């Protein structure tokens, strides 16, 4: 009876685990290739990744570290999300020309705008160096010693790897340290802004629609890679020319229909799909709730001020969006993990795992070890989150004190660097105080520091908080500290090194902030790191054990910012009983949501006109203009701006978000309700052509009709 039950559970696990996955492009032969074919793909593994010939991967570009972008013309034209280009678009904006509000379109190549510090990275080659890295690592050695040997082997592998002078090397571990890949990369440093729609298109729906379907956002912007005359990476120069890529993606005019094959190619940031049940339980019940509450309280206060004051509204728009983005994600994630019974499912899998490994000396105790370690780390992990959400992220004055703390440490270590360090920190503070409001921050301080004092684990609380009247403390700090204004900060940081350090340490704001930072580095972080190291070591063995215990299962390595392929189909879903979501949204939906003058749902005059006249050019279908669509592609943060590619290798869309019910896919991908959200390529073309009259950009693309015979 027991055996049958276990077999049934095993089968259920196997079935539910099908689909999803973020695969390494150089390792697609076999299972992935077959699976892609069964979903409708006509691409071979080699079409996607090839070292000797150009392939799709040569058009995929890591955009400024955090997002993905793709090359869509033979002149290095780069497509990414509006929210990925946001900072750059904002930095070129002023009251006279507000490109966030009005959009920006370079009418000629000479009008394209350089962006200091912006980078775009291509992957030249991926080598599997696992054997070299993991050879002769004695299992009996300490974790530290093992890591030392691994680092040594990585350095040796880099030493002997072939690369051109202008290329870089990076080694990343996969499967929690069970596989090592070496990436040869090329980083371009002259990236110019080419075009962006107004926020009322590029961020339509804003935070209300964020993480939601149905969606109607034209979340795209255009950049261009420039290279030197040898087509190689170079710092910005007027002499630079548009990059001539090995490959660029043709853009399909034929659109998508339900069940069409889709491939998303990009740089997903982080997933944790192989955590034990006890870890998921901790996330849902211990870690997410306080983080959600802290952000909710901060958002309430910021929102109140933004509504009352036009200046604060601009100053805090981007900060508000950033806080709200993950606040909303965590809520959806916790709900989804509960609803999809992720913890129960993990426990069922673990029962099978345990049964199969009960006599295995190396694997038989892993789950028990996890239980012990996660119980041990819990309080410290919660304390650490309180600290990072309150001190580091959401009370701005405390964030300023973290910066000062690092500054103090740096100059104490290397006194001769004082001047450089001072101008560095002052430079950072200039941007900081430009968007800072003291009254607002004082209120956030009062609320969040009270939560810190009353609700965070008392065992980890510093004495500076224990018997303190928070309201009085806030009053004192915000009226007497130099951390509340750029001018005061300038005064605080002027004088000789000795004077500066004395003044800093007499400042009531810094004194209090420093007590919290000290507490973090003395009482919270060391304990957390020590336990986390053990958890990671256990996870490495568990990952290996899972793959050996279930040899017929498909295991992909967790996302870690490296290039991945994920694939699926265009598909609607059932978010709840009696509700069905279709897979495509149309311009009709933009007009349904339209609220004149509203900061989230306003629609530009010209778009309304085009809609009324149904002036959709070649881009509409049956008198309608498609806007967004959803599919079963397994994506995460970092996949923003990833191309959506059809069965033949053409661009059909641009990834930018996930649906609410499926945000738990970072821990537990469920093909029933996990969907990624994409901008339809036809909407992008329509906006560039009909809305922005930028025919020159359309002309440099290669538009194709893959569905017409
Ligand atoms: N949720 C998307 C992603 O994680 C889009 C975020 C930008 N948009 C916004 N309304 N905050 O990053
Ligand atoms: N918006 C996310 C990003 O910036 C992508 C959405 C997701 O997390 O899947 O990468």
CA-proximal residue: ligand 1, atom 6 (nearest): 325
Q: What is the pLDDT of residue 14?
A: 44
Residue 9: in which H helix or E strand, if any? helix 2-17
Q: What is the pLDDT of residue 12?
A: 45
Q: What is the pLDDT of residue 311?
A: 86
> Looking at the chain, which residues constitute the CATH 2.40.10.120 domain(s)?
22-119+189-268+564-700+705-709
DSSP string, 580-592: EE-SEEEHHHHHH
Q: How confident is the model at residue 111 (pLDDT cuts 50, 70, 90)?
A: very high
Q: Hey, what are 517's tokens?
A: 């930072």
pLDDT in tens, 415-460: 999 999 999 999 999 989 999 999 999 999 999 999 999 999 999 9
CA of 606 to the centre of ligand 1 (A): 25
Q: Which CATH number fits domain 22-119+189-268+564-700+705-709: 3.40.50.1000, 3.20.20.80, 3.40.50.12280, 2.40.10.120?
A: 2.40.10.120
Which of 219, 325, 675 most suits a substitution to test ligand 1, by most atoms within 8 Å of the C-beta?
Answer: 325
Q: How confident is the model at residue 317 (pLDDT cuts 50, 70, 90)?
A: confident
Cα angle vertex 160, ends 560, 145, to 5°?
60
Contacts (Cβ under 8 Å, ≥6 apart) of 60 = 68, 70, 122, 123, 265, 266, 563, 642, 643
CA of 90 to the centre of ligand 2 (A): 20
Reference 298, options 391, 234, 231, 215; nearest CA is 391
Whole-number Å distance between alpha carbons of 629 and 86: 22
Q: What percent of the chain has pLDDT over 70?
A: 97
Contact 352, 9 (CB under 8 A): yes
Strands 261-266 and 564-569: antiparallel
CA of 110 to the centre of ligand 2 (A): 32
| Nearest-atom index, ligand 2, CA of 657 | 6
Q: What percent of the chain has pLDDT over 90?
A: 92
Whole-number Å distance between alpha carbons of 46 and 549: 31
Q: Is the model's pLDDT at 41 over the cut of 60?
A: yes
Q: Is the model's pLDDT at 5 over the cut of 80?
A: no
Reference 632, options 677, 595, 667, 598; nearest CA is 677
Contacts (Cβ under 8 Å, ≥6 apart) of 607 = 201, 590, 691
Q: Is the model's pLDDT at 11 over the cut of 60?
A: no
Contact 230, 681 (CB under 8 A): no
Residue 640 Cβ contacting ligand 1 at under 6 Å: yes
CA of 59 to the centre of ligand 2 (A): 20
636-654: average pLDDT: 98
Q: What is the pLDDT of residue 2?
A: 54
Looking at every residue in the chain, the average pLDDT score rounds to: 95
Residue 211 Cβ contacting ligand 1 at under 6 Å: yes
| Nearest-atom index, ligand 1, CA of 328 | 1
Q: What is the pLDDT of residue 91?
A: 86
Q: What are the pocket residues of ligand 2 if the criterion is a CB atom closer than 6 Å to any ligand atom?
A: 635-640, 656-658
Indicate the pTM of the whole model.
0.93
């Amino acid at each position: 009876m027991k055996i049958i039950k276990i077999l049934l559970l095993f089968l259920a696990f196997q079935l539910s685990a099908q689909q999803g996955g973020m695969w390494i492009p150089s390792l697609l032969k076999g299972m992935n290739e077959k699976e892609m074919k069964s979903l409708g793909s006509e691409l071979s593994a080699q079409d996607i990744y090839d070292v000797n010939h150009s392939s799709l991967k040569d058009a995929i570009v890591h955009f400024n570290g955090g997002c993905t972008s793709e090359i869509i013309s033979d002149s290095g034209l780069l497509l990414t999300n509006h929210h990925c280009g946001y900072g750059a678009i904002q930095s070129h904006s002023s009251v006279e020309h507000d490109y966030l509000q009005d959009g920006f379109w370079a009418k000629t190549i000479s009008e394209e705008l350089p962006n200091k510090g912006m980078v775009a990275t291509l992957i030249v080659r991926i080598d599997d160096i696992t054997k070299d890295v993991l050879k002769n690592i004695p299992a009996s050695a300490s974790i530290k010693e093992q890591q030392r040997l691994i680092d040594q082997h990585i350095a040796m592998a880099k030493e002997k790897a072939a690369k051109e002078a202008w290329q870089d090397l990076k080694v990343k571990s996969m499967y929690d340290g069970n596989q090592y890949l070496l990436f040869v990369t090329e980083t371009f440093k002259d990236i110019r802004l080419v075009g962006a729609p107004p926020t009322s298109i590029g961020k339509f729906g804003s935070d209300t629609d964020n993480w939601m379907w149905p969606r109607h956002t034209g979340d795209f912007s255009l950049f261009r890679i420039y290279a030197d005359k040898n087509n190689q990476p170079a710092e910005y120069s007027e002499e630079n020319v548009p990059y001539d890529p090995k490959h660029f993606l043709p853009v399909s005019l034929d659109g998508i229909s339900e069940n069409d094959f889709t491939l998303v190619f990009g740089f997903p940031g982080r997933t944790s799909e192989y955590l034990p049940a006890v870890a998921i339980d901790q996330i849902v019940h211990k870690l997410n709730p306080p983080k959600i509450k802290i952000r909710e309280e901060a958002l309430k206060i910021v929102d109140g001020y933004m509504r009352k004051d036009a200046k604060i509204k601009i100053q805090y728009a981007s900060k508000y969006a950033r806080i709200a983005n993950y606040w909303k994600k965590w809520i959806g994630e916790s709900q989804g993990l509960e609803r999809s019974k992720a913890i129960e499912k993990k426990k069922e899998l673990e029962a099978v795992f345990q049964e199969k490994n009960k006599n295995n000396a190396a694997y038989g105790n892993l789950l028990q070890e996890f239980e012990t370690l996660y119980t041990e780390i819990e309080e410290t992990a919660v304390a650490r989150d309180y600290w990072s959400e309150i001190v580091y992220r959401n009370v701005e004055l405390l964030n300023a004190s973290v910066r000062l703390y690092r500054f103090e440490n740096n100059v104490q270590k290397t006194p001769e660097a004082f001047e450089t360090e001072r101008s560095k920190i002052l430079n950072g503070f200039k941007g900081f105080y430009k968007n800072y409001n003291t009254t607002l921050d004082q209120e956030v301080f009062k609320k969040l520091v009270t939560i810190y004092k009353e609700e965070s684990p008392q065992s980890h609380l510093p004495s500076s908080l224990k018997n303190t009247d928070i309201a009085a403390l806030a009053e004192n700090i915000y009226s007497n500290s130099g951390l509340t204004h750029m001018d005061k900060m300038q005064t605080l940081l002027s004088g000789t090194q000795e004077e500066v350090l004395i003044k800093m340490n007499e400042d009531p704001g810094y004194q209090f902030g420093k007590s919290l930072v000290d507490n973090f580095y003395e009482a919270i972080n060391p304990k957390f790191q020590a336990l986390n190291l053990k958890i990671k070591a256990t996870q490495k063995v568990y990952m290996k054990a899972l793959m050996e215990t279930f040899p017929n299962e498909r295991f992909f390595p967790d996302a870690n910012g490296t290039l991945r392929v994920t694939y699926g189909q265009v598909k609607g879903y059932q978010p709840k009983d009696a509700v069905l979501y279709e897979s495509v949204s149309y311009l009709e939906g933009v007009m349904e949501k339209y609220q004149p003058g509203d900061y989230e749902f306003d629609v530009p005059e010209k778009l309304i006109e085009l809609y009324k006249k149904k002036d959709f050019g070649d881009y509409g279908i049956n008198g309608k203009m498609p806007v967004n669509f959803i599919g079963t592609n397994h994506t995460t943060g970092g996949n923003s701006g990833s191309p959506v590619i059809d069965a033949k290798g053409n661009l059909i869309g641009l990834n930018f978000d996930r649906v609410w019910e499926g945000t738990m896919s970072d821990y537990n991908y469920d093909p029933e309700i996990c969907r990624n959200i994409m901008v339809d390529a036809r909407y992008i073309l329509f906006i560039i052509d009909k809305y922005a009259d930028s025919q020159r950009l359309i002309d440099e693309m290669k538009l194709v009709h893959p569905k017409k015979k």
